[in-house]
Amino acid sequence: MPDTPTIRVPADFEFEFPGASRSAAEIAANLARTQMALLAEIERPPRERHGLSASAFQTLAILDGAGEPLPGHVIAERLLVSSASMTSLVDTLERRGLVERRPHPTDRRKVLIHLTPDAQRVVDQQLPAIHAVITQAISTLAESDREHLLTSLTTIRARLSLIAGQPLPPAKARRRRRVESTDRSAR
């Protein structure tokens, strides 16, 4: 396994940022870096094997998971993208023969997005590949560690949902500039 050091902040971090927590900053940095690396690996199989962006594959997976055709705005909500972005994405997938737009059977103002058989084959092939990446990424953690990590992540997510939308906390003090040592060997 490659040597992946823990991301650390300088020892004087709490001096530089009064009221901040050194360990909290290190956890946030490591969590963010891990999340980016995991997403990059999850997105790799459909990108390399089928030239699909993460959003394109997620669109196909959303349609597959729904088990029925969906209006574009529903897919956009689930994908957390704008209607304009969704239209462009569906245009691209339609040109590639992976989705079709068809009129809604009872409401002629609506259009439903359908998976094509080619798209279904892509999803059926790629979902197991993605789950294999996830399983491999987590494989070194014991089951008890996984449960502890899951509990910790849920606790953090719950706290974030509580503070979301609240006024930003006031800074305890202005940032202090780090004092550079003149003796570089002391580091």
CATH number for the segment(s) 13-158? 1.10.10.10
* Dihedral angle of Cα 69, 75, 79, 81, to the nearest 10 degrees: 150
Instruction: Give pLDDT tens digits along the chain (187 positions).
Output: 568 899 999 999 998 888 899 999 999 999 999 999 999 999 999 999 999 999 999 999 999 999 999 999 999 999 999 988 999 999 999 999 999 999 999 998 999 999 999 999 999 999 999 999 999 999 999 999 999 999 999 999 999 999 998 998 887 777 888 766 554 444 4
Q: Return the closest-CA partner of residue 12 out of 24, 3, 20.
A: 20
90: left (phi over 0), alpha (psi -120 to 50) or beta: alpha
β partners of residue 112: 71, 102
What is the pLDDT at residue 173? 73
Cβ of 172: how many Cβ atoms within 10 Å?
9
What is the pLDDT at residue 57? 96
Using CA atoms, how far apart are residues 175 and 178, in angstroms rounded to an integer? 9
**Cα-based distances in Å from 130 to 39, 44, 57, 65:** 10, 8, 11, 15
What is the pLDDT at residue 180? 64
Task: Give the chain's length.
Answer: 187
- Structural domain boundaries in the chain: 13-158
The pTM of this model reads 0.77
What is the pLDDT at residue 176? 82
What is the pLDDT at residue 1? 58
Measured over the CA atoms of residue 43, residue 128, residue 58 and residue 160, the dihedral's sign is negative
3-state secondary structure of 177: coil
Please give the structure tokens belonging to residue 143: 């089951």
**Cα-based distances in Å from 83 to 17, 55, 74, 88, 91:** 41, 13, 10, 9, 12
Rounded to 10°, the helix 54-66/72-79 angle is: 120
Using CA atoms, how far apart are residues 69 and 63, in angstroms rounded to an integer? 6
Using CA atoms, how far apart are residues 109 and 128, in angstroms rounded to an integer? 37
